[in-house]
Every structure is written in structure tokens, then in C-alpha cells.
A and B are shown apart, each in its own frame.
Chain A
């Protein structure tokens, strides 16, 4: 039986359910978040998921958070972001840098059902936020704010917001600070809403301040610590968001499996056609890899916090990429139906429109790759040559985790990476006998790619190690993300085999996963390895029939 939020949201295909797909798509058409969906989340005290236990909430392990709130993302990314995750993006800054009083205030607001907004972005500077211009000046025990913020989710309806403002003339990495500002501050002006092509219910707005006074106690963390706190907090949300997006692709894939099983063409069902089978199996495997990587990144926040800057950036990039590609491939099977804004395929179309926000918003693809590029040379000197043994708990959601300690999240991994080197250790342990001949050979080849990456990364010209990176350097960062994804898959497969999981402990999904990552790495396309398509498809069809999620957790769903 479904439990938790899944049960609260109920059967999404039942038109009598106020939170059905039909109602979700209708609300999206109106440019609103579905009110019944918001009510359901309120009844479950959704915001408590973002508040640590010592402040009265239920926030524990990051990967557990992802699994607990994924049900809303299976149904509606807009609702998940609009009602909730925006508040998480704001709150982590407060948990990371706030005083006890600020933490209590943020917890109080969230637990009574209010929202927090997070105002970093200025259109003029995009991801280059250390050049932002919104200014805060100290004057007689007060801070005076002046400037404009744009594309800020929930800025009009939030009770308070976390503000990123320049506090030194020249800007730069020590030139900005964060503030926790009450939204009813006199003199703040809210700018008109900006419409979006996806997540249409999300309320993007802007903020205008002209010499607006807030108490000096609004400063969050130390003066000049804004960029640093932001970069730490981003690590958490960059790991969590991709994991949530897995939920939307679960529904997209499920919708297409249903269609393919029922639609008859050429005297057979679409599900019987070899091309459809290959696309479905491929999307399924990519979804599993995405979940494996997101799980590793989330658990890494607890277990390898010193390396999280690297792993979270790679995860945000690759998971968003895998998921958007998978949905685009699946659209081909749905044919014209994916383009219709009504009927059973319309939830697919909505997810297809909404998904890009996961890669665009909150540090775009480019920003994530740049965060990796800056670290590549040090990594090439210290990591990747030798086998690594990551903590086994990294791959096993059933294992206990230490608490998340924000101060241990470092700005750079300083050349350490205890995950990717797993490819070498897997290759060392007689991979043919251990994993089977096919994945064994793939693991060996991926290990070779990792050594090649180290070599090429050590030769990146100095000017290309920052924003002036060229296409070749960007490709190295992409390769790194793919190799990390492969290591995550190997790790998850091993952990599940140890636990006797008959599906995830089987080498066949791993073979398919590694083959697909390998193809991306070599910029080629390759069919799925022999014998894997039928096997994957059987599992996929069973899960759809039995109402089980298509991710790693295989949990009952009502979608």
C-alpha cells in the first residue's frame, strides 16, 4: 500500500480526485498552482520536511528527503517547486549561516505553512552573481537596501526572503552578504509577474528596493560571507533537486509504457516494436542511473562533505541532462499525443515542458560545468589514478548517515574524489568473474577513460580553468560527470547485490547503464547490449502493472 505523501495525494488517474493529472494540467493552463494540491501538501505539513528536527521539523538525510517528497514531483514539478522546494533553497542558507534567532524565525514561518523566497538573481548578471549590484549599506544601526532582483519565485507571497546583496563597493567573492528580510518591510516594491513556458503555475516576480531600511540583525552570517554561504547551500540543493526530477520522469515513462501497451499498429502493440522497446529500456536505465547518482550526491553531503562541491555540480548537470534526453526520446513513441494539451498524454507534455527548469534554474548547466572545470587540474594531480574505496553507506539507502554539517561542506574538493576511483577498484577485482564479462570490460574501459581524463585535465591551459574555458575543456567536465555516474551505478549495483536484490543486484541493468554512459563518453550511439532489452522491459511492464515506482526504491505509487 502506498504511504506518506503518495497516499495523501491519491490516485492521479481518478478524475474524482481533486489532485488528478487532469486537474493538475488544467491549473497549469490557467497559470496557477493547483489549490487542492497545495491544500493536500498543507495537510501533510509539507514544509516540516525542510526544517531540522531540533527546530521542530522532519529534515534528516538528504536522500530520505528526496524520497519522501518525490510523490509531488511525480505529479507536478511546478507544485513541488512553487509550494515547497523554493523554501528549501532559502532555508538551507539560514540553517547554514543563521543565528539561533534567525533559525527559529525561519522554522516558525515554515512550520505555520508560510513560504520563504530566495532572491539571488539579477537579470543583468545571471549566474555570474559575484558581480550582482543590489546593494546593502550600513547606516545608524540599520541596513539600507537598494536595487532590483528578478525572476524570484514566490517573492510576492513569501513571508520572508533570503537576499543576496553587495556589501562592498567592488563586489567580488568577499563583497556580498546574505540577509533574512521580512517581506512586509516598509518600502519594498514587488514587480509584476514574469510568465514562463513551463511550470506555468510558478509565481516568478521581482523586487525593487529604494533605500529601504531593515534592522542590522537581518544580516545572515558574517558580512562578506554571502558568496561562501551561497556556494555551500547550493551543494545541498544541487544534490536534492535532480533527485526530485527523477519523479517526473517516472511518470513520463509510465505514461508511455501504458500508451505503448494499448496502442495497436501494424497488427501488434507499440510495445512489441523493437524500436519502442529499445527506447523504453534505455529511458528506464537512464532513470536508474539518474537516481543512483542523485542518491550518491545526497548521501555524499553527509559522508563526503569535503567533496560535495564537485559531486553535487556533476550531479546537477548530468541528471538534468539524462532526464531531459530521456523524455525527449520518449516523446517520439507518444507521437502526436505528447503535443496535445488534453487527454491522457497531457501530463507527459507538461513534464516535458517543466523539466528544463531543473537544468536552467538555480545554477545552469554551464555554471555547474564551470564549477567542475575549476577543480579539474587539482583532481588530475591527486585523484583518478589510483583505486578508491568510497564508504559503502554511500550507495546503500538503508545504512545510517551522520548528520549533515554545513560547515564541513567545502568550496572545493581540493583534488580529492573518493567516488570515481571506484571504477579502478572494480576493474582490479577480476571484473569478469565479479561483474560478468560485458560489464567487466566496460568497467575496464571506463577506468581507462578516467586515466585519460586525468592526463588531459592536467594540460588545461591556465586561462581555460575559469569562465574563459573552451569547448574542449567543457567536454572534459562533461566526461567527468559521466564517469561519476558510472561509478555511482557500479556502487549501487554492488550494494544491492550484497543485500540480495534480484533486480538491482543483477549485472544486466549495470551492463546497460555502463554501455549507455560509455556511448555518451565516446560521443557515439550504441544499441543496448544483447539480452538486456527484454529483461529490462519485463521489469518495466511489471512495475507499471503492479503500481511500483520506476526508480531505485521500487515503492508503491498511485500515478
Chain B
């Protein structure tokens, strides 16, 4: 599996979150708790599915709950794909 770069994942996640909460990517701060943007526990399911599609990593929604910021998820994805 090719290693994915954390910055790329972060940028991609910002796009996804912006899509879900219908805001501009520029408005999304990767260090902020996702709940601040109205992403509740159900939306985490969708995001987990997106990550699986994009990076081929098994990601249960609970992992998104444990990594509640974009930065934390990106770090997780980068580590998992090594």
C-alpha cells in the first residue's frame, strides 16, 4: 500500500467536511472539533465510509469519534496506510 501524505489527507478531509456541512472549505479549521460544524454522530458514519472509499482503510465510525478533528483523522489515516 502506498503511503499517503498527511497534508493531502487533511486537504481532502477539509473538502469532505465542507461538503457535509455545506460550507466553504476555507471556513473549516482542521484543528476544531467536528461537532462545532454540526457534524453529529450520524454524519461520522458517512465520513468513515468516504475515507474507506478514498484510501481503502477499514474505518469504523467509532474511530472518527475517537479522532474528532480533521487533523486527528488525517494523522490516523496516514499512520494506518504506512
Residues of A within 8 A of B (CB): 130, 170, 172-174, 227-228, 370-371, 373-375, 377-378, 381-382, 410-412, 414-415, 462-463, 465-467
What are the residues of chain A within 8 A of B53 when measuring CB–CB? 378, 381-382, 415
Which residue of A227, A414, A467 contacts B52 across the interface (Cβ within 8 Å)? A414
User: With an 8 A cutoff between CB atoms, is B76 at the interface?
Assistant: no
From known contacts A378-B53, A462-B19, infer whether A173 and B44 are also in contact, taking CB-CB under 8 Å. yes
User: With an 8 A cutoff between CB atoms, is B43 at the interface?
Assistant: yes
User: With an 8 A cutoff between CB atoms, is B7 at the interface?
Assistant: no
What are the 4 tightest A-B residue pairs by CB atom distance, in nearest-first order? A378-B49, A173-B41, A466-B42, A173-B65
Within B34-70, which residues are at the interface with A (CB < 8 Å)? 35, 40-46, 48-50, 52-53, 58-62, 65-66, 68
Which residue of A172, A381, A414 contacts B41 across the interface (Cβ within 8 Å)? A172
What are the residues of chain B within 8 A of A414 when measuring CB–CB? 48-49, 52, 58-60
CA distance A355 to B2 in the complex (A): 54
What are the residues of chain B within 8 A of A381 when measuring CB–CB? 49, 53
From known contacts A172-B35, A414-B48, A414-B52, infer whether A463 and B40 are also in contact, taking CB-CB under 8 Å. no
What are the residues of chain B within 8 A of A465 when measuring CB–CB? 20, 42-43, 46
Q: Is the CB of B60 within 8 A of A466?
A: no
Q: Is the CB of B45 within 8 A of A467?
A: no
CA distance A324 to B66 in the complex (A): 40
| Residue of chain B at shortest CB distance from A379 | B49
Q: Is the CB of A412 within 8 A of B35?
A: no
Q: Is the CB of A377 within 8 A of B65?
A: no
CA distance A80 to B65 in the complex (A): 36
Q: Is the CB of A415 within 8 A of B49?
A: yes
A-B contact pairs, 15 of them (CB 8 A): A172-B68, A228-B62, A373-B42, A377-B46, A378-B50, A378-B53, A411-B45, A412-B45, A412-B48, A412-B61, A414-B48, A415-B49, A462-B22, A463-B20, A466-B43
What are the residues of chain A within 8 A of B48 when measuring CB–CB? 412, 414
Which residue of A170, A370, A410 contacts B42 across the interface (Cβ within 8 Å)? A370
User: With an 8 A cutoff between CB atoms, is B21 at the interface?
Assistant: yes
What are the residues of chain A within 8 A of B60 when measuring CB–CB? 410-412, 414
Q: Is the CB of A378 within 8 A of B66?
A: no
CB distance from A327 to the nearest CB of B (A): 32
CA distance A170 to B48 in the complex (A): 22
CB distance from B63 to the nearest CB of A (A): 10
| Residue of chain B at shortest CB distance from A130 | B41
What are the residues of chain B within 8 A of A170 when measuring CB–CB? 35
Q: Is the CB of A412 within 8 A of B65?
A: no
CB distance from B75 to the nearest CB of A (A): 17
What are the residues of chain B within 8 A of A378 when measuring CB–CB? 45-46, 49-50, 52-53
What are the residues of chain B within 8 A of A467 when measuring CB–CB? 40, 42
CA distance A415 to B52 in the complex (A): 9
CA distance A410 to B64 in the complex (A): 13
CA distance A467 to B45 in the complex (A): 13
What are the residues of chain A within 8 A of B21 when measuring CB–CB? 462-463
* Number of B positions contacting A (CB below 8 A): 25
CA distance A463 to B22 in the complex (A): 7
- How does the 8 Å CB contact mask read for B4-23 relative to A, with 1 for contact and 0 for none? 00000000000000011110
CB distance from A148 to the nearest CB of B (A): 23
CB distance from B19 to the nearest CB of A (A): 5
What are the residues of chain A within 8 A of B61 when measuring CB–CB? 411-412
What are the residues of chain B within 8 A of A410 when measuring CB–CB? 60
Apart from A173-B40, A465-B46: 8 A-B pairs, beta carbons within 8 A: A371-B42, A375-B45, A378-B49, A411-B62, A412-B60, A462-B19, A465-B20, A465-B43
| Residue of chain B at shortest CB distance from A131 | B40
CB distance from A166 to the nearest CB of B (A): 14
Q: Is the CB of B66 within 8 A of A174?
A: yes
What are the residues of chain A within 8 A of B35 when measuring CB–CB? 170, 172
What are the residues of chain B within 8 A of A377 when measuring CB–CB? 46, 49
What are the residues of chain A within 8 A of B22 when measuring CB–CB? 462-463
CA distance A280 to B59 in the complex (A): 47
CA distance A377 to B60 in the complex (A): 16
CB distance from B51 to the nearest CB of A (A): 10
Which of B44, B48, B59, B65 has its CB near the most chain A CB atoms (within 10 A)? Answer: B65
From known contacts A410-B60, A462-B20, A462-B21, infer whether A374 and B52 are also in contact, taking CB-CB under 8 Å. no
What are the residues of chain A within 8 A of B62 when measuring CB–CB? 228, 411
From known contacts A170-B35, A414-B58, A462-B21, infer whether A374 and B65 are also in contact, taking CB-CB under 8 Å. no
CB distance from A414 to the nearest CB of B (A): 6
From known contacts A130-B40, A410-B60, A411-B61, infer whether A374 and B66 are also in contact, taking CB-CB under 8 Å. no
What are the residues of chain A within 8 A of B52 when measuring CB–CB? 378, 414-415
What are the residues of chain A within 8 A of B19 when measuring CB–CB? 462
CA distance A371 to B60 in the complex (A): 15
| Residue of chain B at shortest CB distance from A309 | B45
| Residue of chain A at shortest CB distance from B39 | A466
CA distance A462 to B50 in the complex (A): 12
From known contacts A130-B40, A172-B41, A467-B40, infer whether A412 and B66 are also in contact, taking CB-CB under 8 Å. no
Q: Is the CB of B58 within 8 A of A374?
A: no
What are the residues of chain A within 8 A of B65 when measuring CB–CB? 172-174, 227-228
What are the residues of chain A within 8 A of B59 when measuring CB–CB? 414
Which residue of A174, A227, A228, A382 contacts B68 across the interface (Cβ within 8 Å)? A174
| Residue of chain A at shortest CB distance from B63 | A411
What are the residues of chain A within 8 A of B49 when measuring CB–CB? 375, 377-378, 381, 412, 414-415
CB distance from B58 to the nearest CB of A (A): 7
CB distance from B70 to the nearest CB of A (A): 16
What are the residues of chain B within 8 A of A130 when measuring CB–CB? 40-41
CB distance from B42 to the nearest CB of A (A): 4
CA distance A374 to B20 in the complex (A): 12
